[in-house]
Structure 1
Amino acid sequence: MIYEAGKIFSSKGYKSEQIQKGDYEECNFIGIDFSKYDLSDFKFSNCDFKDCDLSNAKIRQTAFRDVVFKNCKMMGLNFEDAHSFNISFRFEDCILDHSSFYQLDIRKTIFKNCSLKEADFTETNLSGAFFDDSNLANSVFDRTILDNANLKNAINYSIDPNKNQLKKTRFAKDNLAGLLDQLQIIID
């Protein structure tokens, strides 16, 4: 395994297959197509991914520690396969449709202007998470901890208060219907 620190990997000089399994610290990945690539056992610490495609990549035991994803396409990622110790990331302007965060402890994670359609947050600890201008259409929240989470600007969520932990969770008045879906009532 290799070790890289402070290096910039750009689509102009690198293809995904040229990036070897290793430990990457404070590196930037710009415009790289990692879709369907096997990133298993890679370690990313304090790294930034910008304009990358990681859709359906394999991330078994991949370490994500203080990683920022900006304008990335990340459809169908199974984050529960990643190394869970100290897992932490931030997502801005990303497409995370059909991704799964099953049973992860990802407190204080920021999802800013993201598409999270049909994402799975079953048994996920999202305490203090911030969903800013994010679309949660058909996402699954089941036995999810959302204490102190902020969903004021989130849209299209459906969260059953009886099946999830919602202490001091913030919602906008206009989006409260997403808490009543299971009652099958009509709000005009």
Structure 2
Amino acid sequence: MSYQSDQHYKNIDFTVERFPIIEYENCTFEQCKFSDLDLRGSSFENCLFKNCDLSNVKVPDVSFRQAKFVSCKILGVHFHAGNPFLLEFIFQDCQMAYSSFYNLKIKKSKFINCKLTESDFTRTDLAEADFQGSDLSGATFDQSILEKSDFRNAYNFTIDPELNRIKGARFDLDGLPGLLGKYAIKIG
């Protein structure tokens, strides 16, 4: 497989220009458009995506190792189809509605100030993950490992403590309704 390192791609519409399916290391993609592309077989190690549109990209067998996404639009991406080996993410200020992380082991991943509406975290190992400031409206947490995860300032989430492992997870008082909602308890 071909290899590219230490490159900066800016203002490229890969839906018009061909996107090479190769290994990328220490590369930056800034204001690039990937929407609806099939990235099958690509590898991104220590890469930064900034202000990119990755909506509906297909990621079967794609490797993301220490991939960072900042202010990106990432709608409907099924990350669970990617290569799970050494998978590591950082998402910051991203629009990520309808994305799926089903059954992935993504410990210590960061989802800071992201909009994760209707995203699927079923059976996902999110131990020590950080969701601070994120909107989790309609996100699914079912049989998920959330131990030592940080949900402070996260909002609109519903997490059933009986169906998920939450020991040591951090929540602020405003998050109590998201943990206790099924009990129909009145708080405050």
TM-score (norm. length: structure 1): 0.96
SS in structure 1 of the partner of residue 131 of structure 2: strand
Aligned letter for 1:60? Answer: P
* 1:34 equivalent in structure 2: 34
2:103 counterpart letter in structure 1: Q
Q: Mark the runs of 5 or more structure 1 residues left unpaired by the alignment.
A: none
Q: Which stretches of structure 1, 4 residues or longer, exceed 6 Å deviation after superposition?
A: none
Deviations 1:15-38 (A, max 9, x none): 314320000000000111101011
Aligned to 2:172: 172
Q: Distance in 1 between matches of 2:24 and 2:36?
A: 20
The alignment status of 1:15 with 2:22, answered yes or no, reads no
Partner of 1:151 in structure 2?
Answer: 151
- In the alignment, what sits opposite 1:25? 25
List alignment gaps of at least 5 residues for structure 2: none
Once the two structures are TM-superposed, the CA of residue 186 in structure 1 deviates from its matched residue by: 3.9
Q: C-alpha separation between the residues in 2 aligned to 1:153 and 1:125?
A: 21
* Equivalences for residues 176-187 of structure 1 within 5 A: 176-187=176-187
1:72 alignment partner in structure 2: 72
Structure with the higher strand share, 1 or 2: 1
Query: Which residue of 1 is the match for residue 94 of structure 2?
Result: 94
CA drift of 1:113 comes to: 0.7
For residues 154 and 59 of structure 1, the distance between their equivalents in structure 2, rounded to whole angstroms, comes to 27
Identity %: 41
- Secondary structure (helix, strand or coil) at the match of 1:131 reads coil
* Mean CA deviation greater in 16-25 or 64-73: 16-25
Q: Distance in 1 between matches of 2:174 and 2:141?
A: 20
Specify the alignment match of 1:43 in structure 2.
Answer: 43
| Structure 1 position 111 matched with structure 2 position 111 | yes
Q: 1:126 aligned to 2:126?
A: yes
Displacement after TM superposition at 1:106 (Å): 0.4
Q: For each residue in 1:139-183, what CA deviation from the matched residue of structure 2 results, as whole angstroms up to 9, or x when unmatched?
A: 000000000001011101100000000111110012201011222
In the alignment of these two chains, the number of paired residues is 186
